[in-house]
Chain A
Amino acid sequence: MIEIVATGPLNTVQDLGRPGYRNIGVTASGAMDPLALRIGNVLLGNAPGAAGIEVQTFPFQVRFSEGGAFAITGADCRATLDGVPLPPWWTAGAAPGQMLELFPPLKDARAYLCLAGGVAVAPVMGSRSTSLRGGFGGLQGRVLATGDHVATDRAADGFLPKGGFGVVPPAVALKDAFPVAEGGALLIRALPAGEHDLFGADAQRFWSQLWKISARSDRTGYRLSGDPIHPTEVMEMRSHGVVPGVIQVPPAGEPIVQMSDANTAGGYPKIAGVIEADLWRLGQARIGSLLRFVPATHAEARAAEQALAAYIADVHKTARLVRQALAGMA
């Protein structure tokens, strides 16, 4: 059990989302950086789909009313436990009454606080994710507020070394599998989508230019600003299904990337789709930052996905062995 002592707006309970209900208009929701949430849960021995807290506004402060293990992953928010700094991507134990504080990260956008056992809220349609638009899931379908109490399910047994332990963050461990930003811009791989070729010469400008993530960006989608692109002819399209990662081009010509709270349907032409393995990086991109889309093949998308899976499996296996070895020595 923790108590929220201070929080900015828009911090919510999230798990890996609520897929399978788009046909009835239900947004999938889920963590914007699902990799960070997964690793947080792995560090705690939680189920991979356990719910945690997505923190996107800071400072965020909680008191551990009963104590327990927790993990902080995602953006390095310079967390402190009773004033003592914790490294990023770290799990540690909190004694009853201890205060955990997360500060605004200097890079990346979202931090994840996972709790041993996972956040205990009633699942709705198979997920504990908060759907702000629907007003359900998470804690009463709303953002977290000061004074909220967040309960946890039963924690897995496991030895936690004094001082805790952590992981090499994926941005470092996986730097070979994920293209390095050139001149500070994020490189996001995408597959050309249905209406790509209808953009004619403008399609080339979609791939070649740097897009800036505008202030009108949130969990639903990122609106990009840059040199507008247009299809060669005005298009009338029927509404069709939309998933996170789809890049639509509205008539004004500046693309929208659908994110975790993506609309379930839309009618704008789709120029490309971000590969799923790169969505976590997009989920960590900050408003005002620059990105460039890189055309990818299905094989490249699969290779990136395999690199992610291998990292998660490696963390899982090594964390278990290290815990066992340290428990034997303790």
Chain B
Amino acid sequence: MARRDRSTGRNTIGDLSDPALISTLAGWLEGSGANALEITTPDGGGLKIVLAAGARAVRIAETVPEAPAVRPEGHAVRAPMAGLFRDRHPAAMETGPLAGAGRALEAGAIAGFVEVGPVLLPVIASKAGMVGEIHARAEGLIGYGDAVLTMEPSR
């Protein structure tokens, strides 16, 4: 693998842990013919993406449209993978959504699920806050890294 170093003094790419960014980079990587990329930043951050041959059954790239605009004070809770978005557990359809607008969620709370075949992945609120705008449509398809909802910081 050819290593290309580029020193810009600071990280201009953005938040390397942002799923939307990772998804975009993975999409470029897939189109480039290379199979891995590694980014390290002077501040010690890093990101490595390796394309796994044969792991195509779950497509994580290309389905990601532009992430909906998120107001700066809020933070987006994003889909961990592409699939069907569920705003409540499929065995508890009679209950309300896990993250209705205005609802307070603790850090680590499950705000919904992404259904991939028979598997359910949790959509997790990484920080505590109040559910603001909900972007994902229940039982609609969602892409990897798409914003499911925006959380407003708790007051």
A residues apposed to B, CB below 8 Å: 76, 84, 87-89, 161-169, 171-173, 311, 314-315, 318-319, 321-322, 324-326, 328-329
Q: Please determine whether A318 and B60 come into contact, CB atoms closer than 8 angstroms.
A: no
Q: Provided the pairs A165-B122, A318-B117 are in contact, do residues A172 and B81 lie with their beta carbons within 8 angstroms?
A: no
Closest Cβ–Cβ distance, residue B100 to chain A (whole Å): 16
A41 CB to nearest B CB, Å: 15
Q: Which residues of chain A are near B121, meaning CB under 8 Å?
A: 161, 165, 322, 326
Residues in B with CB closer than 8 Å to A168 are 90-91, 115, 118-120
CA–CA, A326 and B144, complex, Å:
11
Contact of A84 (CB < 8 Å), options: B22, B49, B108: B108
**Cβ–Cβ < 8 Å partners of B127 in chain A:** none
CB-CB under 8 A for A325 and B60, given A84-B108, A161-B80, A163-B110: yes
Tell which of A84, A88, A326 touches B81, judged by Cβ atoms closer than 8 Å.
A326
Complex Cα spacing A84 to B109, Å: 8
Q: Could you give 15 example pairs across A and B, Cβ below 8 Å?
A: A76-B91, A76-B92, A87-B113, A89-B91, A89-B120, A161-B121, A164-B122, A166-B119, A167-B119, A172-B90, A321-B55, A321-B57, A324-B52, A325-B52, A326-B81
Bound complex: CA A176 to CA B41 (Å): 53
The distance from the CB of A291 to the nearest CB of chain B, in whole angstroms, is: 20
B19 contacts which chain A residues (CB < 8 A)?
329
Contact A173–B118 (Cβ < 8 Å): yes
- Bound-state CA distance A169–B119 (Å) is 9
Q: Which residues of A contact B58 (CB under 8 A)?
A: 321-322, 325
The interface of chain B, by Cβ under 8 A from chain A, is: 19, 22, 49-50, 52, 55, 57-58, 60, 80-81, 89-92, 108, 110, 113, 115-122, 124
CA distance A169 to B113 in the complex (A): 14
CA distance A165 to B122 in the complex (A): 6
Select which of A163, A167, A311, A315 is within 8 A of B122 by beta carbon: A163
Identify the closest chain A residue to B124 (Cβ).
A163
A-chain residues with CB within 8 Å of residue B116 when the two chains form the complex: 318, 322
Partner of A165, one of B57, B92, B120: B120
Compute how far the CA of A165 lies from the CA of B124 in the bound complex, rounded to whole angstroms: 11
| Chain A residues in 8 Å Cβ range of B118 | 167-168, 173, 311, 314-315, 318
B55 surroundings in chain A (CB, below 8 A)? 321, 324-325, 328
Contact A172 B91 (CB under 8 A): yes
A-B contact sample (8 more), CB < 8 A, given A87-B113, A321-B58, A322-B58: A87-B120, A89-B91, A161-B122, A163-B124, A166-B113, A166-B119, A168-B118, A322-B119
Chain A: minimal CB distance from B71 (Å): 25
Given contacts A87-B89, A328-B50, A329-B60, is CB(A314)–CB(B117) below 8 Å?
A: yes
Residue of A nearest to B88 (CB): A87
Q: How far is the CB of B29 from chain A (nearest CB, A)?
A: 12
B16 → A minimal CB distance (Å): 12
How far does the Cβ of A44 sit from chain B's closest Cβ, in whole Å?
14
Q: Is the CB–CB distance between B119 and A318 below 8 Å?
A: yes
In the complex, A325→B108 CA distance in Å? 21
Residue of chain B at shortest CB distance from A87: B89
Cα distance A85–B115 in the bound complex, in angstroms: 19
State whether B50 touches A315 (Cβ < 8 A): no
Chain B residues contacting A88 (CB-CB under 8 Å) are: 89, 91
Nearest A-chain residue to B91, judged by Cβ? A169
Residues of chain A within 8 A (CB-CB) of B113 are 87, 166
9 pairs of A and B residues whose beta carbons are closest in the complex: A318-B117, A163-B122, A166-B120, A318-B119, A325-B58, A169-B91, A163-B124, A172-B90, A315-B118
